[in-house]
Structure 1
Amino acid sequence: MVDFPGYTLSGALASFFFILLTMKQSDDFKVISPAYLILTKVGEDALLTCQLLPKRTAMHMEVRWYRLEPSTPVFAYKDGAEVTEMQMEEYRGRVEWLKDDIAEGNVALKIYNNQPSDHGQYWCRFQEGTYCAETSLQLEVAGLGSSPEIHMEGTVESGVQLVCTAEGWFPEPQVYWKNTRGEKILSLSEHYIQDKDGLFYVESTLVVRDAFTETMSYVIYSPILSEEKRSAISIPVKLQTELASLQVIGPSQPILVRVGEDTQLTCYLSPKANAQSMEVRWVRAHRYPAVYLHMDGEHVARDQMEEYRGRTVLVSDAIDEGRLTLQIHNVRTSDDGQYWCLFEKDGVYQETSLDLKVAGLGSSPLITMKRWKDGEMQLVCSSDGWFPQPHVQWRDMEGKTIPLFSENLTQDSHGLFHVETSLLVRNSSIVNVTCSISNSLLGQEKTTTFSLSGW
């Protein structure tokens, strides 16, 4: 008999003695499963098996395969038929019940097209009347991803910077760099991203200081499959390629755009060069996923960040001169920040950075009054729709700043700031006060004046 999580010890013992009193000893059985891990690759099928001991027919029993809770099974069989009402949504249409040997207590469940989400523990449970028994199985799902691609980003102050990328791995793989002598080299940074299917993208950066004598290798290894893939790059050869003599140029000043408007990010090669056969990508913090990827004359949508899908388009037709412009529609606050424009040819990248400043000019301030005791009065000024965080001031009729009583700034689901600030008025000589909210990027402010005369 098996105790389930959440049962108290006393409750479990009471249940145990109740079952002993209400069943015949001959009805006892246990469930066994393979002692080994079940290993399958992403996209392949897996077979989970379990059986009753001693052998006996399970035709009249209830059988469930589940992960966390029996109430939401991967598969359920009862009264000689499949029960689909409670089945986990992600397994509908992907599992097959194999009961050829059910008369001897042997059952199997086939899971088709295994995904990273299928990785983990499963339970096989038999129930007859009030008696049940179960066993667990461990399904290991592994994905052998792409071979690593090594790119060179030209020279940096301390040497040559290499970036290696690979995708489609599961679970998170082991990675390392090796030099010509086979020694492992510590990377400058490593970054892992899981895509919507649960597969890992890996990005590793290395700075090589002895650049003119080195050939570097990058190894990516799956400990579950005991398989690896590797790539190598000869740095002296790459430094002599055509692109190494080119530069990528971008705007010298930040690009300013208002929330909801369109903006353009332009970069170009200097001297002019045909970029038709080059890979060009705009990225944020990492190369994958990209803001936009242009390769072999086409947009590669599968590598694009979800938040830019349907909002970006390449508008420049001067690619034969090495000039490309990316337009971003309906700019959001989340678009604010730094971008990189990268040109690649023969494994060598050159890049430039672009700084996008997003600004939102909010609503005109609204001032409301709250009367306090002893002649004191509290004024509350509020406004919505500001970005970035605005500057707030109270001023008297002569334009002098009045110290505020409190200030509260919050961001809504779109990243826009809501401002609420209050002022405590004790001086009866003050006739008018002004609430001013300004956006330093736009150099604009909005004000509202409140008259205290007559109060």
Structure 2
Amino acid sequence: MIGDDIILPCHLEPRADVSAVTSEWARFDLNPRFVHVRRDGAELLVYQNPSYVGRTSLSTDKLKLGDISLTLSEVKRSDKGKYRCHIPTLGTSVVELVVGAVSSPVIRADIGKATRGLVLQCESEGWYPEPEVLWLDGEGNLLSAGPTETVRGHDGLYTVSSRLTVEERHSSSFTCRVQQRNINQTREAHIYVPDNNAHHGNDTQEGTGEEEQLVKGSKTMKDLDAEKLQEKEEVKNDMLHVITILEHRKKELEVSRETLVSKLKEVEEELRKNEKKLYKQKGAVSSPVITGIYRSTKGVVLQCESEGWYPEPEVLWLDDNNAHHVDDTQEGAGEEEPLVKESKNMKDLDAEKLQEKEEEKNDMLHVITILEHQKKELEVSREMLVSKLKEVEEKLGRNEKKLYKENEVYMRLQ
């Protein structure tokens, strides 16, 4: 029933511990489709459909026994549909949730003007799906009544009413039955109509009989007023309950919105840091240093070194006249050998460093891609959450107005 907490069953046969594996509950008619997800033993609710936020749970103890049943709180009309319970490599099952709402009917009695009879009117509010209305006599036989009038409210719930004309001949009891076969729900109301044909031998007795009938009618009206008062009290309590649920839901949505906004800020900050870090890695320079001076048979050998370049640079030697020099001297190889070896080592180190920088760059690009994707999903979830919060606030406002009107009627009846 709408507003109840229910359990969608899903079990493994034979039993197996699935507390540390992936399990998913989903509805494929939704976007996003995920109702509840666990990954590697932990709740993963980033991709959960906003309409289920704070209303779903799995029992860790039951998961250890192969029970993946989903607890769904405060069932709504929109929750109806087929749910898929899925564990990769182990299997899938489908559960259909049928949602309904019921209320007790109320019978009112009015004197018919066109016909010399009593008109009974039965009305029942807050049904889902649409129910049917039946009239029965005291022996349980179906009676012919007027067509059922049906009205669907803004909340999607149905109000039905039906009239039955009773001839003033014999006393009898009547039953109004409202039923919905799809959800196997029935509610009934009963009324007793006294005999109007009791007569006595003289005028005094007849007057007494008329007075007795008037007293009975007065009592019946009092009973009807009491029933109507009780009905209004029940409606009032039901609406207070609905408003309490809506206010609780509103608070949950506001908390979820704040959490989502905080998470979005974290993602944006992390994204900015990675983009800044990546920008720094796109190019790097440093000043060269002449680190060695060696003498050879042909002259002096100079060694120049510069760290932290990206991409790889070229090295040129210039004299005072900006002439380019290349050392092609072959003599003094023995003296130059340490320099050559050190130069090769430096090149190897530079190559390793460049490779590390390239790998770091690729890693950061991957992280940035993931963060951008997560940012987009969070923004979509935030928009859906804001829309849902607005919807709840509007519904809360309508129910508060309706409660105010019901209170006015209730006070008049008292």
Do they fold alike, i.e. is TM over 0.5?
A: no
Query: Into which bin does the TM-score normalised by the smaller protein fall?
Result: 0.3 to 0.5
Greater RCO (CA < 8 Å, at least 6 residues apart): 2
With normalisation by structure 1, the TM-score equals 0.40
| Greater share of strand | 1
